[in-house]
Amino acid sequence: MSRNADSPYILTAANSATAIEQGLAGAEWYTSPIPKAALRELLERRDGPALRDTLLWFGLLAASGYAGFQLWGTWWAVFPFLIYGVLYGSTSDSRWHESSHGTAFRSDWLNNSLYELASFMVMRESTVWRWSHARHHSDTIIVGRDPEIAVPRPPDIKAMLMVFFNLNTAPNYFRKLCLHAGGRLTDEEPLYIPASEHPKVFFKARIYLLIYAAVIATAVFQRSLLPLMYIGLPNFYGAWLMPVYGDTQHAGLAENVLDHRLNCRTVYMHPINRYLYWNMNYHIEHHMFPLVPYHALPKLHELVKADMPAPYRGLREAWREIIPAILRQTKDPGYFVKRTLPTPTQPLQPAAAVLSSSTAAAADGWVEAGDAALLGKEDVIRFDHAERTYALYQTAGGGYHATDGTCTHGRAHLADGLVKGNLIECPKHNGRFDITDGSPQRPPACAALRTYPLENRDGRLFLNLARAGLSDAGEPQVPRGEQAQPRHLDRGVGA
Ligand code: FES
């Protein structure tokens, strides 16, 4: 959606600074308590559900596309192309989204392949949007920080209606593609895309333009619109379902709050809609626990729903709230829908255990961290000591390791993340680190963690604070306007 140059929603250094001064940037967000064992089960990655759903999706695209081809030249072709267009131009959005988090599949190559394909299909440059979406999860609907606020206030109703057919998004997209293909970025993009990623942006923009040029050339050569009905035009005639689902996520809700229950909606949907939308209707749950794969969101919802505002009973109920809210915001931009937070009827589940010690480290740097029985295999636990926080790990093979406790990308406790092999996955944006040497292994994590020796001595964990190590891999590559997070958070900051 286009914005005036003086809009507070533009990601300028000044607007970003305002959010930072208010403590809204990279801040601590509310998280519903959930038993660690239950969360760990939900985090389990599988290839099966997304393979099944993706093969069905490809099958539907192929069948509708083939029917359109066979019926081309008759009015009957309208019907298969209506289906093809929605599958291509709208449902690629949720495939793009889930694979961007790296959670749809267990196998990274499957996540990355679907991500590249779906990014092209939904008209989002894959590198640009990977970084923009990381920021959206750090600073959800924080004005001046979140590049993905779909309905800035006061809402532009004409622009909102044009989005249903990408009439404003598409020109903007092609303008940026040309800019990137020419080796340049917009003024906003360096604020959230690190310099090391810029060559990828330029390279992929050229590839995208080449594909569009080839499709247009084929259409001209064949003197037929048919090639464009498969690539290009579906983003116009099939885009309408994307805002029907997507605007329910945040439209009309609060800005500048640090509780996803106040700025996201969870909407119950029919199973067909949930298939098309890949369960993104559980949007509060997704934002609160972005590591949980889409197929586990219904189970997560059952675990946390007592701590959530009442879910909407369907798309119709959500839109009955959104339409009057945005109409009112056109005259009263300060208005927003206030969600009522529940008083839990049953005691909340205890959060994950945290080890702590106030005993000073010995002269040789060793400090006793606590009971080793609390740290299972392929597990991580938080340890707080002297106003600093650490993450202690045991690998599946029984190796003990320790790193700084907070992610180098943002303000997230790694103890809330997922250990797989020698990797810890950050709970906030799914960045990964090697726990043996602290090196970053998956963006947006780019800077290494400090590591520390950790030993299990007769059932007690001992950490050495004097022998910290820092891998050379992954020098800090922080986007302009993004503050590198301190290596240690003060106790009490963070989840
Ligand atoms: S906070 Fe972004 S990857 Fe960890």
Q: What is the pLDDT of residue 483?
A: 44
- 35 pLDDT above the threshold of 50: yes
Does 492 have pLDDT greater than 70? no
Order across the sheet with 379-385: list the strands: 354-357, 379-385, 388-394, 400-404, 450-452, 469-470
Q: List the one residue out of 152, 102, 138 whose CA is nearest residue 481.
A: 138
The reply to whether ligand 1 has any atom less than 6 angstroms from the CB of 428 is yes
pLDDT of residue 430: 87
Q: Give tens-digit pLDDT for 129-158.
A: 998 898 899 899 999 999 999 999 999 999
Q: Which amino acid is at 163?
A: V
Buried b (16+ CB within 10 A) or exposed e, 113-140: ebbbbbbbbbbbbbbbbbbbbbbbbbbb
Residue 484 is predicted with a pLDDT of 39
Q: Are strands 379-385 and 354-357 parallel, antiparallel or unpaired?
A: parallel
What pLDDT does residue 36 have?
81
Look up residue 479 and give its two tokens.
């986007």
What are the domain boundaries of the chain?
13-331, 354-470
Ligand 1 close to Cβ of residue 444 (< 6 A): yes
pLDDT band at 476 (very low <50, low <70, confident <90, very high): very low
Q: Are 464 and 400 spatial neighbours (Cβ–Cβ below 8 Å)?
A: no
Cα–Cα distances (Å) from 86 to 57, 117, 443, in that order, read 11, 16, 31
- Report the pLDDT value the prediction gives residue 362, as an integer from 0 to 100: 86
Q: Looking at the DSSP assignment, which residues form a beta bridge with residue 243?
A: none
Give me the DSSP letters along 32-78: ----HHHHHHHH---SHHHHHHHHHHHHHHHHHHHHHHHHTTSGGGH
Between the CA of 317 and the centroid of ligand 1 the distance, in Å, is: 34
pLDDT confidence tier of residue 494, bands split at 50, 70 and 90: very low
Structure confidence at residue 26 (pLDDT): 84
pLDDT of residue 108 exceeding 70 = yes
Mind listing the pLDDT tens digit for each residue in 220-240?
999 999 999 999 999 999 999
Q: Is the pLDDT of residue 8 over 80?
A: yes
Per the model's pLDDT, the better-predicted residue between 477 and 66 turns out to be 66
In ligand 1, which atom is closest to the CA atom of 427?
4
Residue with more model confidence, 455 or 495: 455
Could you report the per-residue pLDDT of 78-92, keeping only the tens digit for each?
Answer: 999 999 999 999 999
Is the shortest distance between the CB of 431 and ligand 1 below 6 Å? yes
Q: How confident is the model at residue 495 (pLDDT cuts 50, 70, 90)?
A: very low
Q: What is the pLDDT of residue 200?
A: 96
Q: Using a 6 Å cutoff on CB, does residue 291 contact ligand 1?
A: no
CA-based R_g, the chain, Å: 24
Q: Please give the pLDDT value at position 493.
A: 24
The confidence band for 4, taking pLDDT boundaries of 50, 70 and 90, is low
Using the mean position of ligand 1's atoms as its centre, give its distance from the Cα of residue 23 in Å.
18
pLDDT of residue 125: 97
Fold of 354-470: Rieske Iron-sulfur Protein (2.102.10)
The answer to whether the CB of 417 is under 6 A from ligand 1 is no
Q: Give dist(CA 99, CA 55) in Å, integer.
A: 15
- The CB of 418 under 6 Å from ligand 1? The reply is no
Q: Which atom of ligand 1 sits closest to the CA of residue 410?
A: 1
Residue 76 has a pLDDT of: 97
Q: Convert the pLDDT of each residue in 189-223 to its tens digit.
A: 998 888 989 999 999 999 999 999 999 999 999 99
Across residues 421-443, what is the average pLDDT? 92
CB 491 within 8 A of CB 209: no
pLDDT at residue 488, as a whole number:
31
Q: Is 238 in the pocket of ligand 1 (CB under 6 A)?
A: no
**For residue 340, what pLDDT is reported?**
94
Residues 309 and 267: their CA atoms lie apart, in Å, by 11
Q: What is the pLDDT of residue 321?
A: 98
Whether 348 shows a pLDDT value over 60: the answer reads no
Which residue among 136, 404, 408, 426 has the greatest number of ligand 1 atoms within 8 angstroms of its CB, and so is best to mutate?
426
Q: What is the mean pLDDT of residues 308-337?
A: 97
| Ligand 1 nearest atom to the CA of residue 426, by list position | 4
Percent of the chain with pLDDT over 90: 75
C-alpha 444 – ligand 1 centre gap (Å): 6
Residues 6+ apart with CB under 8 A from 97: 133, 278, 280
Burial of 300 (0-12, 13-18, 19+ CB in 10 A): buried
**Residue 353: per-residue pLDDT:** 74
429 lines ligand 1 (CB under 6 A): yes
Q: How far is the CA of 273 from the centre of ligand 1 (A)?
A: 30
Bridge-based pairing of strands 440-442 and 450-452 is: unpaired
DSSP 98-114: HHHHT-S-SSHHHHHHH
Averaged pLDDT of the chain: 91
User: Comparing 486 with 179, which gets the higher pLDDT?
Assistant: 179
Give distance in angstroms: CA of 307 to centre of ligand 1. Answer: 25
Is 80 exceeded by the pLDDT of residue 41? yes
Which of 26-30, 35-39, 286-290, 343-347 has the lowest average pLDDT? 343-347
Q: Across residues 278-302, what is the average pLDDT?
A: 96
Read off the tokens for 257. Answer: 């709050």
Q: How does residue 175 score in pLDDT terms, banded at 50, 70 and 90?
A: very high
> What is the 362 CA–ligand 1 centroid distance (Å)?
32
Confidence of residue 303 (pLDDT cuts 50, 70, 90): very high
Say whether 249 sits in a helix, a strand or coil.
coil
How much is the average pLDDT of 283-310?
96
Q: Give the position, in ligand 1's atom list, of the atom nearest the Cα of 412.
A: 1
In this prediction, residue 7 carries a pLDDT of 86
Structure confidence at residue 11 (pLDDT): 86
